[in-house]
Chains A and B, each alone.
Chain A
Amino acid sequence: MKIVSSLPRTGSANAQTTSMVNGIRMALDEVSGAIDGVKIQYEDMDDASPQRGNWDPAVEAQNANKAVRDESVIGYIGTYNSGASKISMPILNTAGLVMISPGNTYPGLTKPGMGEANEPRIYRPSGKINYFRVVPTDDLQGRVAAEWAKELGVKTAYLLDDRELYGKGIADVFEKRAKEIGVTVLGREGIDPKASNYKALANKIKASGADLVYFGGTTQTNAGQIAKDLRSADVEAKFMVPDGCFEQAFIEAAGAANLNGKTYITFGGLPADQLSGRGAEFRKAYIAKFGAEPEAYALYGYEAGRVLLEAVKRAKTKTRADILQAVAETKDFDGALGRWGFDENGDTTSRVMSGQTVENGAFRFAKVLGGAESAPPTSAPGTVPGE
Chain B
Amino acid sequence: MRPLHHLLALAPLALTAFAAAAADDAPAVASGGVLGQQLVTGLSNGMIIALIAIGYTMVYGIIELINFAHGDLCTLGSFLALTVAGALGMEVWSGVGGLAGVILLLVTAATFCAALNWSIDRVVYRPLRSAPKLTLLVSAIGCSFVLVNLSLFWGGLPMQVFGGGVAAAAPKDFPALVPDNSLLPDAWNLNFTTSDLLVWCVTLPLMVALTVLVRSTRLGKAMRAVAQNPTAASLMGINVDRVIGATFVIGGALGGFASVIYALYNNTISFQMGYRTGMDAFTAAVLGGIGSMPGAVVGGLLIGVVRALSDGYIEARWTNSVVFAILIATLVFRPSGLLGAKLRDKV
A residues contacting B by CB (< 8 A) are 10-12, 14-15, 50, 53-54, 160, 163, 189-192, 194-201, 203-204, 207-208, 219, 222, 224-225, 228, 231-234, 249, 252-255
Q: Contacting B173 at CB < 8 Å: which of A15, A203, A234, A252? A: A252
A201 to chain B, nearest CB (A): 5
- The answer to whether A200 and B149 touch (CB under 8 A), given A224-B173, A228-B267, is no
- The answer to whether A200 and B171 touch (CB under 8 A), given A225-B268, A232-B180, A234-B191, is no
Q: Do the beta carbons of B169 and A12 come within 8 Å of each other?
A: yes
A74 to chain B, nearest CB (A): 31
Q: Do the beta carbons of A228 and B171 come within 8 Å of each other?
A: no
Q: Do the beta carbons of A14 and B276 come within 8 Å of each other?
A: no
Q: Does B90 make an interface contact (CB < 8 A)? A: no
**Which chain B residue shows the least CB distance to A8?**
B169
**Which chain B residue shows the least CB distance to A248?**
B163
Q: Do the beta carbons of A10 and B170 come within 8 Å of each other?
A: no
Cβ–Cβ < 8 Å partners of A53 in chain B:
152, 169, 270-272
CA–CA, A18 to B166, complex, Å? 10
**Which chain A residue shows the least CB distance to B152?**
A50
Q: Do the beta carbons of B166 and A14 come within 8 Å of each other?
A: yes
Interface centre among A163, A190, A203 (most CB of B within 10 A): A203
CA–CA, A207 to B31, complex, Å? 9
**Which chain A residue shows the least CB distance to B33?**
A207
* A-B pairs with beta carbons under 8 Å apart, 11 shown: A10-B169, A14-B166, A189-B316, A192-B316, A194-B275, A196-B266, A197-B266, A198-B316, A200-B45, A201-B311, A203-B34
Cβ–Cβ < 8 Å partners of B33 in chain A:
207
Q: How large is the interface on B (under 10, 10 to 19, 20 to 34, 35 or more residues)?
A: 35 or more
The segment from B3-11, B36-44, B95-103, B123-131 that touches chain A is B36-44
B4 to chain A, nearest CB (A): 27
Q: Contacting B171 at CB < 8 Å: which of A12, A160, A191, A208? A: A12
Q: Do the beta carbons of A249 and B167 come within 8 Å of each other?
A: yes
Cβ–Cβ < 8 Å partners of A196 in chain B:
45, 48, 262, 266, 273, 276-277, 280
Besides the known contacts A12-B170, A196-B277, A231-B180, 17 further A-B residue pairs in the complex with CB atoms under 8 A apart: A11-B167, A14-B169, A15-B167, A53-B169, A160-B316, A190-B315, A191-B316, A194-B275, A196-B48, A200-B311, A201-B312, A204-B29, A204-B312, A225-B266, A232-B180, A232-B195, A255-B267
CA–CA, A11 to B45, complex, Å? 27
- The answer to whether A192 and B268 touch (CB under 8 A), given A50-B169, A203-B38, A233-B191, is no
Q: Do the beta carbons of B171 and A50 come within 8 Å of each other?
A: no
**Which chain B residue shows the least CB distance to A163?**
B317
CA–CA, A163 to B344, complex, Å? 41
- The answer to whether A204 and B34 touch (CB under 8 A), given A196-B276, A199-B41, is yes
Q: Contacting A207 at CB < 8 Å: which of B29, B44, B167? A: B29
A346 to chain B, nearest CB (A): 31
Q: Give 1 or 0 for each of B312-332: 1 = CB within 8 Å of chain A CB.
A: 100111011000000000000
Cβ–Cβ < 8 Å partners of B45 in chain A:
196-197, 199-200
A216 to chain B, nearest CB (A): 13
Q: Do the beta carbons of A192 and B272 come within 8 Å of each other?
A: no
- The answer to whether A189 and B41 touch (CB under 8 A), given A10-B169, A197-B265, A204-B311, is no
Cβ–Cβ < 8 Å partners of B312 in chain A:
200-201, 203-204
Cβ–Cβ < 8 Å partners of A189 in chain B:
315-317
Q: Do the beta carbons of A14 and B316 come within 8 Å of each other?
A: no
- The answer to whether A200 and B307 touch (CB under 8 A), given A189-B316, A194-B272, is yes
CA–CA, A222 to B173, complex, Å? 12
